[in-house]
A and B are shown apart, each in its own frame.
Chain A
Amino acid sequence: MIWAAFAVMTGAVVLGVLWPLSRARATSARAPDIAFYHSQVEEIERDLSLGLLTREDADAAKAEAGRRLLHNAGAPDVQGSSRMAVRAAAVFALVAIPALSLSLYSWLGNPDTPDLPLQARVEEREGNAELMSAIAKIEQHLAANPEDGRGWEIIGPVYMKLGRYEEAARAFGNAGRILGDTPDRLVAQGESLVYAAQERVTPEAAEIFEKALNLREGHPVAYFYLALAREQVGDKDGALEAYTNLARGTPPDAPWQSAVRARIVALGGRIEAIEAVQNAMPAEQQAMIRAMVDQLAGRLEHDGSDAEGWLRLIRSYSVLRETDLAKSALTKARAALAQNADGLKRVNALADELGLKG
């Protein structure tokens, strides 16, 4: 049915283009210029008769118009068409129009998707109407009791689902403000902000994710978005490193693995390296992790301003049961982060958590 409509449209267009080809005609190109001259003269006569122009001025104007007519060479005369040219044009129109439009449409179009005006969606809307009235009730309740943190927490995910991301972010923010920040609330707020900004990690969102990471070291979702933030500001290497850490450091069947791996591939990283770690035998795994930790230590030796890196290094040594190395890394981190109060605080907190003294 829809293809029939397309066929009719295409046919009409092709016919419309071909129609003038059937009527070859020859005209003198001088004709428009001469007609233009005549209308100029008529115009001058009319002005003269209205008294807008004196006789001398009118004559001068006519002379000028005549001079211009002679002066302008005019186009060469239009010839009748050669049959060759007409045929070529006809074939071109006949082939090019359908070929181009049908192929482009079959690439871009969705011929099988019907129109879906809201009125035709009665059943769906009834279900939706219930949801909407529930939302409206909660909204009313919240307008009257804006300090009800539970209410905000309930409506946040609903907004998220409906695609009302700014409102979702605000709801999660309110919930956090009233009930206290938790890593999950912060992450939900940050995620809504990212969606609201067309999947860009805004500085505001990044700050919230940092906060979530402070509350729970290694929160994978926060970690992912911070990596995405790095990628979006152009720090591809940093982003790749962070994605790789995330892919390696979390179970292979975690829900975010596919998204993380897609980013790694997009940035030109190699998935095999990750799988190698995940599939490796424990002994080999230890060796690989050792190698990675050494690499990290080397980098931090070089540039110690990365608080995130120090935290990871200390934690890694502790996991590998290298307490002495962990302690020395802690000392180095404190020295390197002397200027970074926030970083220092986090390092000290980690040291307490791991029971390191030094």
Chain B
Amino acid sequence: MIVEIGHYALVLALALAIVQGLAPLVGAIRHDGALMAMAQPAAVMQFLLIGMSFAALAYAYVTSDFSVVNVFENSHSLKPMIYKISGVWGNHEGSMLLWVLILALFGATVALFSRGMPDDLRALVLSVQSWIAAAFLLFVLLTSNPFARLNPAPLDGRDLNPLLQDPGLAIHPPLLYIGYVGLSITFSFAAAALISGRIDAAWARYIRPWTLGAWVFLTLGIAMGSYWAYYTLGWGGFWFWDPVENASLMPWLAATALLHSAAVMEKRDALKIWTIFLAILAFSLSLLGTFLVRSGVLTSVHSFATDPQRGVFILAILVFFIGGSLALFALRASALKPGGIFAPVSREGALVLNNLLLTTSCATVFIGTLYPLALEAVTGEKISVGAPFFNLTFGPLFIPIILAMPFGQMLAWKRGDLLGAAQRLVLACALGLAGMVVLYALRGGSVVPAILAGLAVYLTVGSFVEVYGRLRNAQNASSFFARAKGLPRSAWGTAIAHAGVGLTLFGLAATGWGVERIVSAKINEPVLVGPYEVVVTDIAPRDGSNYKDLVAHTQIREGGRVVAEMDPSRRSFTTRTMVRTEAGIVTLGLGQVYMNIADVRIDGAIDLRLYWKPYVALIWLGALVMSLGGLLSMSDRRLRIGIAKRAAARMQPAAAE
């Protein structure tokens, strides 16, 4: 009965979503307070209903109710409990249910925490959000119903696939989904602004936490996904430019652009129309990502063509919302009051540059991802656009972004002083150049990693110059800390997030200094990799629950001293005759020794793949730091007005940030 109640709750949520989509919309157009007021309780109830539904499905998983097709196909009575639970969203139907749950969660949050927001704006936002929810609820119910039943019920489930039982896979999709779906709220705000024809700095203030929140989760989700690929796939790669990854990178780039242009809008009442456009774009790209991942179009354009129901449905949703919002945009954008104009050398100008570069880089990823699909669909020819394309297009676009980032922070609103900014960045530049030279001298090899690492140093140091400028007049340590505490958290957020980009860049640059060795070694025969000696001291079988491990106990030595130990293994699943390698990873400082056993020969020699990856941990640490910056900025609930700095002003804070 619980399962069917969950099913009914989902259907009821759809009916409610349709009412919530219509009544407040009519209310907002007619300025009718009562109709608009329907939106809030409806949004909260919608979340409760979908929550009930999700809980019912989770219950079916936990109790191994194989009368539910979804549980039968994706679970097994012998799975560890944690993977039974993560199995709820580890499959197509369940993950779409999670999608609508998060969608409704965001709607409910707007409904509950929007005191002070104009009634018509709130009603329109909740109405648009509800249209999105209704479309996806219909999709779930008609094409991907997680509550389909089986009679008679089988005695056990089908999925004991050990490859999918991984904590990374359990956490990574929800993070990404919160990011994707978080952008739906900014989209709803944009659509609401277009419908009501009213857009102002307060609007930008309302969307700030949503954009930042979505961005933080997207950042974490992408980083998590890449770390998962790194440790499971077994050859140390962490980013493959494959369409699924690009599908998450594109909304991230657009969201990054959006949160910067929204800052301009909030402070200077400018860039309004562009901000609206970016809000539409960011969510459109996350819908596109959903389409790419969920329609099966990636596995093969042809398999999509023979079983197109789901794909066509998502495509219809895509066309309706993107097309509809762009049409609305075309109709109404001219009616919006554009904001003020501004000088090219100013904080606004720098942010516009940031926006141009980010959207262009987003476009290159878009082309690189969709062109092969389009070509395959039209001509049947399969090509793959890989790292070389993206390195040649995306890379050059990102270098100016990195060069400009500290400058942007330095420039004042309205009219900035480029020379002054440059002077204050002398230290960062000098450190960056010194880093380049020193690292090149120390590491040798190609000059590219040294240049990129130098850039990373410049960016990381440069990110804090502005904050430092505000603190350096402090007389003593205690007033220094008092001032540091008094600085707006958004200023700290900016500095920290930018520094996070610098750290990630350093980690990426350092891949150029990595060492890869593919060798065959005997037991106790040391192998040199980077600064370390790796010695397999012992190789022994070990029994797992449904697999056998062949574990190579390995020591890592530096100057004869053991600094770390690890146990990489080859794991074979007896009844499945499936073998997978469990990489051994040891973090030493910021670098990692990564070892994979390719084969164990009869004569006792072990074929090893060994990597020394200096600073590689920075790639993900940087992403964590970026998210931390985003969270700090999000926690800053203050209002922001950008004002020009007077010529006579000292090195004082440029704005009431």
Q: Is B323 an interface residue (CB 8 A)?
A: no
Binds A, one of B431-439, B495-503, B648-656: B648-656
Inter-chain CA distance A139–B573, complex, in Å, is: 12
Given contacts A57-B649, A118-B66, contact A101 B12 (CB under 8 A): yes
Inter-chain CA distance A79–B7, complex, in Å, is: 39
Contact of B49 among A13, A32, A79, A128 (CB under 8 A): A13
Q: Is A27 an interface residue (CB 8 A)?
A: yes
Mark contacts of B124-161 with chain A using CB atoms, 8 A cut-off: 1 yes-contact digit, 0 otherwise.
00000000000000000100010101010111101000
Q: Cβ of B33 and Cβ of A108 under 8 Å apart?
A: no
Given contacts A68-B201, A89-B34, A104-B11, contact A32 B116 (CB under 8 A): yes
Within 8 A of A (CB), among B19-41: 19-20, 22-23, 26-27, 30-38, 40-41
Contact of B198 among A72, A104, A143 (CB under 8 A): A72
Inter-chain CA distance A19–B35, complex, in Å, is: 11
Pair count A-B, CB < 8 A = 250
Closest chain B residue, CB of each to CB of A200: B303
Q: Cβ of A32 and Cβ of B118 under 8 Å apart?
A: yes
Interface residues on A, range: 35 or more
Query: Which of the listed residues B12, B119, B200 has the most CB atoms from chain A within 10 Å of its own CB?
Result: B12
| Contacting residues, chain A, for B36 (C-beta < 8 A) | 78
| Contacting residues, chain B, for A344 (C-beta < 8 A) | none
Inter-chain CA distance A238–B154, complex, in Å, is: 37
Mark contacts of B194-217 with chain A using CB atoms, 8 A cut-off: 1 yes-contact digit, 0 otherwise.
001010111001000000000000
Inter-chain CA distance A24–B34, complex, in Å, is: 5
Contact of A105 among B11, B49, B156, B653 (CB under 8 A): B11
Q: Cβ of B12 and Cβ of A17 under 8 Å apart?
A: no
| Contacting residues, chain A, for B200 (C-beta < 8 A) | 33, 68, 71-72
Q: Cβ of A60 and Cβ of B45 under 8 Å apart?
A: no
Q: Cβ of B11 and Cβ of A108 under 8 Å apart?
A: yes
Given contacts A89-B23, A117-B63, contact A77 B31 (CB under 8 A): yes
Q: Is A178 an interface residue (CB 8 A)?
A: no
| Contacting residues, chain A, for B37 (C-beta < 8 A) | 20-21, 23, 25
Inter-chain CA distance A43–B120, complex, in Å, is: 26
Q: Cβ of A96 and Cβ of B19 under 8 Å apart?
A: yes
Mark contacts of B639-653 with chain A using CB atoms, 8 A cut-off: 1 yes-contact digit, 0 otherwise.
101011110010011
Q: Cβ of A43 and Cβ of B638 under 8 Å apart?
A: yes
Query: Which of the listed residues A13, A32, A111, A114 has the most CB atoms from chain B within 10 Å of its own CB?
Result: A13
Rounded to whole Å, the gap between the CB of A93 and the closest CB of chain B is: 5
Q: Cβ of B16 and Cβ of A29 under 8 Å apart?
A: no
Contact of A162 among B4, B156, B302, B488 (CB under 8 A): B156
Q: Cβ of B120 and Cβ of A29 under 8 Å apart?
A: yes
Given contacts A60-B643, A65-B641, contact A116 B65 (CB under 8 A): yes
Given contacts A9-B9, A21-B38, A43-B656, contact A139 B574 (CB under 8 A): yes
Question: Count of chain B residues with Cβ under 8 Å from any Cβ of A?
Answer: 87
Inter-chain CA distance A43–B116, complex, in Å, is: 16
Rounded to whole Å, the gap between the CB of B646 and the closest CB of chain A is: 6
Q: Cβ of B41 and Cβ of A111 under 8 Å apart?
A: no
Q: Cβ of A118 and Cβ of B63 under 8 Å apart?
A: yes
Query: Which of the listed residues A19, A60, A97, A109 has the most CB atoms from chain B within 10 Å of its own CB?
Result: A109
Inter-chain CA distance A166–B19, complex, in Å, is: 47
| Contacting residues, chain A, for B643 (C-beta < 8 A) | 57, 60-61, 64
Q: Cβ of B67 and Cβ of A10 under 8 Å apart?
A: no
Q: Is B602 an interface residue (CB 8 A)?
A: no
Mark contacts of B615-657 with chain A using CB atoms, 8 A cut-off: 1 yes-contact digit, 0 otherwise.
0000000000000000000000011010111100100110110
Closest chain A residue, CB of each to CB of B138: A104
Q: Cβ of B155 and Cβ of A116 under 8 Å apart?
A: no
Is chain A's binding surface mostly helix, strand, loop or mixed? helix
| Contacting residues, chain B, for A6 (C-beta < 8 A) | 5, 8
Mark contacts of A152-196 with chain B using CB atoms, 8 A cut-off: 1 yes-contact digit, 0 otherwise.
000000000011101100100000000000000000000000000
Inter-chain CA distance A47–B1, complex, in Å, is: 58
Q: Is B583 an interface residue (CB 8 A)?
A: no
| Contacting residues, chain B, for A200 (C-beta < 8 A) | 303
Rounded to whole Å, the gap between the CB of A46 and the closest CB of chain B is: 9
Q: Is A357 an interface residue (CB 8 A)?
A: no
Closest chain A residue, CB of each to CB of B40: A20
Q: Is A133 an interface residue (CB 8 A)?
A: no
Within 8 A of B (CB), among A239-273: none
Q: Cβ of B18 and Cβ of A100 under 8 Å apart?
A: yes
Closest chain B residue, CB of each to CB of A40: B639
Inter-chain CA distance A210–B27, complex, in Å, is: 66
Q: Cβ of B575 and Cβ of A167 under 8 Å apart?
A: yes
Mark contacts of A1-42 with chain B using CB atoms, 8 A cut-off: 1 yes-contact digit, 0 otherwise.
110011001101100110111011111010011011001100
Q: Cβ of B4 and Cβ of A81 under 8 Å apart?
A: no
Given contacts A6-B8, A105-B8, A113-B67, contact A16 B155 (CB under 8 A): no
Q: Is A75 an interface residue (CB 8 A)?
A: yes
Given contacts A68-B201, A85-B30, contact A108 B7 (CB under 8 A): yes
Q: Cβ of B641 and Cβ of A64 under 8 Å apart?
A: yes
Contact of B141 among A75, A104, A139 (CB under 8 A): A104
Q: Cβ of B42 and Cβ of A16 under 8 Å apart?
A: yes
Binds B, one of A48-56, A217-225, A302-310: A48-56
Rounded to whole Å, the gap between the CB of B3 and the closest CB of chain A is: 5
Rounded to whole Å, the gap between the CB of B495 and the closest CB of chain A is: 16
| Contacting residues, chain A, for B49 (C-beta < 8 A) | 9, 13
| Contacting residues, chain B, for A97 (C-beta < 8 A) | 12, 15-16, 19
Within 8 A of B (CB), among A256-298: none
Contact of B656 among A20, A44, A81, A167 (CB under 8 A): A44
Q: Cβ of B646 and Cβ of A78 under 8 Å apart?
A: no
Contacts A10-B12, A60-B643, A93-B19 known; list 8 others, CB within 8 Å. A9-B8, A71-B337, A96-B15, A97-B19, A108-B145, A115-B1, A115-B63, A116-B67
13 A-B pairs with C-beta separation under 8 A: A9-B8, A21-B38, A24-B33, A35-B116, A44-B656, A61-B655, A82-B32, A85-B26, A89-B34, A98-B15, A100-B18, A105-B11, A167-B575
By a beta-carbon cutoff of 8 Å, the part of chain A in contact with chain B is 1-2, 5-6, 9-10, 12-13, 16-17, 19-21, 23-27, 29, 32-33, 35-36, 39-40, 43-44, 47, 50-54, 56-58, 60-61, 64-65, 68, 71-82, 85-86, 89, 92-93, 96-98, 100-101, 104-105, 108-111, 113-119, 121, 124-125, 128, 139, 142-143, 162-164, 166-167, 170, 200, 232-234
